[in-house]
Amino acid sequence: MHSVSASGHAVSRLRTARLAASAKPFVARGSGLGRCAGCRLTASHCLCAWRPRTPTRAGVCLIMGDIEALKPSNTGWLVADVVADTWAFKWSRTEVDPGLPALLADPQWQPYLVFPGEFVPPERVVTELQHAEPAHGSARKPLFVLLDGTWSEARKMFRKSPYLDHLPVLSLHPEQVVSNYRLRRSFRESHFCTSEVAALCLDLAGESHAAQTLAAWLDVFTAHYLSIKRSTPLDIASEAHGRLQALRAVD
């Protein structure tokens, strides 16, 4: 198990492992332009100089669909950029990385499986964080377990991962929040991308600065990504860039 480092975080390492195991190369749209290994964008739009690092007490465990780590638009990558204690595991119905149950059993963490409560038996659902304490007496830190994939993939992961069945299910209710995610199409208006869900979790854990930083990081990433996709000028003097710069100055 590894948390994020400056040179290669958990999602980056999972991507490398997934590519090494592939029988044929994964070719994302725009790959011919050449992509930065640090941010997955072309050199002209590289984000690495803007990357924020915000100390957090909370951690994030990403369980990722088969090719999710390979997609340039994946936002779990952005979570690992910001949250130092981020782990990433490839989901498989038949095989479980032994590091995953070990992490979930680590007494320093209180894991929460984040999933809509409407699909879960009521007795498993929580809407706020618990304050359980391990034997040595110090409060356990929240670990948010996020199923990173399409909605159909996430539902499959939820149903067919028995090692998650004992976890409390954290059901978020962001009725007053509107998703700003513009990189992929969703058929459910209530859907949030992985980094938006992580930001909501961080805010619930009292990590408001980290939550705001992650939200700003998504906005800046989106601006760079869409500038490439649409062949439009990149405005680094935008409100999103300014907001991220101000948040980074506080760290």
pLDDT at 87: 98
Instruction: Provide the domain limits for residue 182.
Output: 49-250
What is the structure's pLDDT at 37? 87
Domain-located, residue 36:
no
103 in a structural domain: yes
Is residue 138 domain-resident?
yes
* Ordered DSSP codes for the chain: -----SS--HHHHHHHHHHHH-SS----TTGGG---TTTSS-GGG--GGG------S-EEEEEE-TTGGG-TT-SHHHHHHH-SSEEEEE--SS---THHHHHHH-TTEEEEEE--GGGS-GGGEESS------TTSSPPEEEEEEEES-HHHHHHHHHT-GGGTTSPEE----TT------SS--S-TT---HHHHHHHHHHHTT-HHHHHHHHHHHHHHHHHHHHHHHT----TTSHHHHHHHHHHHH-
Asked if the structure places residue 133 within a domain, the reply is: yes
User: Residue 6: its pLDDT value, please?
Assistant: 40
Residue 10 belongs to a domain: no
Per-residue pLDDT of the chain (251 residues; tens, 9 = 90+): 333 444 489 999 999 998 888 755 555 555 556 789 899 999 999 999 999 988 999 999 999 999 999 998 999 999 999 999 999 999 999 999 999 999 999 999 999 999 998 889 999 999 889 765 554 556 899 999 999 999 899 999 999 999 999 999 999 876 645 455 555 544 444 578 999 999 999 999 999 999 999 999 999 999 999 999 999 999 999 999 999 999 998 87
Q: Domain count of the chain?
A: 1
Is residue 179 domain-resident? Answer: yes
| Total-model pTM | 0.88
Q: Looking at the domain assignment, is residue 116 inside a domain? A: yes
> What pLDDT is stored for residue 186 in this prediction?
47
Give the per-residue pLDDT at 25.
55
Residue 21 located in a structural domain: no
- pLDDT, residue 3, reads 39
pLDDT number for residue 175: 60
